[in-house]
Structure 1
Amino acid sequence: MRLGSALWIALAGFGAAVPFFGSTYLMGVVFQVAMWIALAQSWSMLSATTGYLSLGHAVFYGVGAYVCVLLTGIIPFEFAILAAAGSAALFAALIGLPVLRVRGPYFVILTYGLSELVRHVVMRIESALGSFGRMIFDVPAQEVLLWWMVGLAVLATLGAYAIRHSRFGAGLAAIREDEVAAQTIGVPVTRLKLLAFIASAAIPGAVGGLALLRTSYFEPAQAFDPVISFTIVTMALVGGTDSVRGPILGAMGFALLSELLWSTLPQLYMIVLGLTLIVFVLFVPRGLSGLVGRIGGAR
């Protein structure tokens, strides 16, 4: 356990130190890896602990990006990022009770449909305003954005760990195993699910704001892209949902593999990624985290 903690601390330190010795390209790669770690960990706060498989994290990412683009230049970017996270959490609080009333495949379809609904609403609003894309000027330096993103990845990891190893997490695990039985013995099911839903929304909102500042361009179809949700779920499944290290391993492996394939096999990029996911689902059902655990146990 101490060795694992030291490795994660060293990894976070490496990410924060990249601007001092790395190239712009390496900074971009680290930014992407940290971004997907934060998103995968935020997804695990809800879906891995309660069993409610969400395909709607793109909506929190997009809400954060939209709020950030509206506030950038009006208030300091630090407050814009906090407002993006708060807006995504508030949105989750408003829709949480009706959305969390359904379970299983209905919850999956509902979260995906909600994400598409908000995407088209924002597109209509922007179209009515005569804006089909917003450019952002005077954004923070790339190294500042990188440090913020690495900090978000660390914060999301610590949050996921705290939830899993707390009474709150034990209640969420009881919901995952048998929600009716948990409610029967006095677990506050509705309150716990809503709190987990809100917690899992705040990080994507902040991530969406930082990603927007890095690209300096907002386009609704891109910010609310459903591929974001599918990618988050894929990384979490490849890494494994049984432990906090799973989303880290999945995000790192998937992001680095994507970067490698995109630069070497651009025509076969999505085919190879799809085959990789199939192999993991069929032959490594517990993901990279389970594989590492088995290797460590065997040694």
Structure 2
Amino acid sequence: MNSSVWHRVSILVVAAFLLASVPYFGSAYVIGLTLTLLMWIALTQSWVILSAMTGYISLGHAVFFGVGAYVMVLCFNTLPFLIAVILAGLVGFSFAFLVGYPCLRVRGPYFVILTFGLAELVKFIVINVEAGLGKFGRLLLGAPGLETLYYLILALAVISIAITYYVRRSRFGAGLRAIREDEEAAETLGIDVARFKVLAFAISATVPSMVGAVMILRNSYFEPLDVFNPVTSFTIVSMAIIGGGDDVPGPLYGALGLVLLQEILWANWPEVYMIILGVLLVTFVLRVPEGIHGWILSYQRSRTT
């Protein structure tokens, strides 16, 4: 094992230790902030598997977050919450697998619009179902404590990082990147394009569904307009664009940067935060399309030449 690999492993071990120790040494505020950061890391890493690796930009990942939350609501006080979280992941995977075949038949801006429309469609279906049941918001009393939820989100963040790392370096990941570069050529080379895309879509939906199931326990209140909020999808895409790349570090940079920026500015100057976010997105799209991770790699290559 060379020195660079040892260096990365050491960083990961130290980071894991620090994150695992947050509930022991941090205040409730620090725990909540770190939990939020881990949530966005898990969501953005999952988005990368589909959108960054295949080039199919999704604005619909809020639907999986919301579906997972709704599964938890329906199972609350009926199933053990850990079983409900796992069930939420299975439902998210199955739902994405079912809708993936028709949705992934289009590409480019049509796919972007279609995924956004899918999220809105499911949101209003849930709203109407809840209205038909006479439910206008649900309280989830007796949810697990903050520390338990923190470790669940930490586990999901680690799982999402591991999945992204493995997929990126697998033959499956190579096939996804081939689809991104030239879908017709990939199909000519024998890649089952339809199956690869649908499987990537389903995998990318699993962790967000589980994250939604956990986060609704933290909120202790279910409101469809909140859990299916399109801002969730926009934030994921923003973090991915700013972080850059189709590998693990990009979402980490993007999530860390935006969560800290939001924490500093949102409470006191929300308008300033939105202006800065807009400027950042325009700047990265036009000037640094490879994102922070790509810029760092380019800088490192320039230092070695």
SS at structure 1 position matched to 2:109: helix
In structure 2, how many angstroms separate the alpha carbons of the residues matched to 1:69 and 1:262?
29
Number of the residue aligned with 2:169: 165
| 1:290 is the counterpart of 2:294 | yes
| 1:74 is the counterpart of 2:69 | no
* TM-score normalised to structure 2 length: 0.95
| 1:194 is the counterpart of 2:198 | yes
Of 280-289 and 40-49, the range deviating more from structure 2: 280-289
In structure 2, how many angstroms separate the alpha carbons of the residues matched to 1:264 and 1:101?
44
Determine if contact 1:46/1:52 at 8 Å carries over to the other structure. yes
In structure 1, how many angstroms separate the alpha carbons of the residues matched to 2:151 and 2:272?
33
Residues 204-253 of structure 1 show CA distances to partners (whole Å, capped at 9, x for unaligned) of 00010111011111100101001111110010010002422101111111
Q: Give ranges in structure 1 of 5+ residues lacking alignment.
A: none
In structure 1, how many angstroms separate the alpha carbons of the residues matched to 2:27 and 2:281?
31
| 1:226 is the counterpart of 2:233 | no
> Deviation of residue 201 (structure 1)?
0.5
In structure 2, how many angstroms separate the alpha carbons of the residues matched to 1:8 and 1:246?
15
In structure 2, how many angstroms separate the alpha carbons of the residues matched to 1:16 and 1:79?
23
Number of the residue aligned with 2:133: 129
* Equivalent position to 2:155, from 151, 156, 164: 151
In structure 2, how many angstroms separate the alpha carbons of the residues matched to 1:242 and 1:59?
22
- Change in 2 beyond 3 A, CA 1:286/1:70: same
* Equivalent position to 2:66, from 47, 62, 69: 62
Number of the residue aligned with 1:23: 27
Give the superposed CA RMSD.
1.3
Number of the residue aligned with 1:40: 44
* TM-score normalised to structure 1 length: 0.97
In structure 2, how many angstroms separate the alpha carbons of the residues matched to 1:277 and 1:39?
19
SS at structure 2 position matched to 1:268: helix
In structure 2, how many angstroms separate the alpha carbons of the residues matched to 1:242 and 1:197?
15
Determine if contact 1:34/1:150 at 8 Å carries over to the other structure. yes
> Deviation of residue 35 (structure 1)?
0.3
Determine if contact 2:241/2:291 at 8 Å carries over to the other structure. yes
> Deviation of residue 283 (structure 1)?
2.4
- Change in 2 beyond 3 A, CA 1:179/1:266: closer
How many pairs were matched up? 299
In structure 1, how many angstroms separate the alpha carbons of the residues matched to 2:300 and 2:120?
42
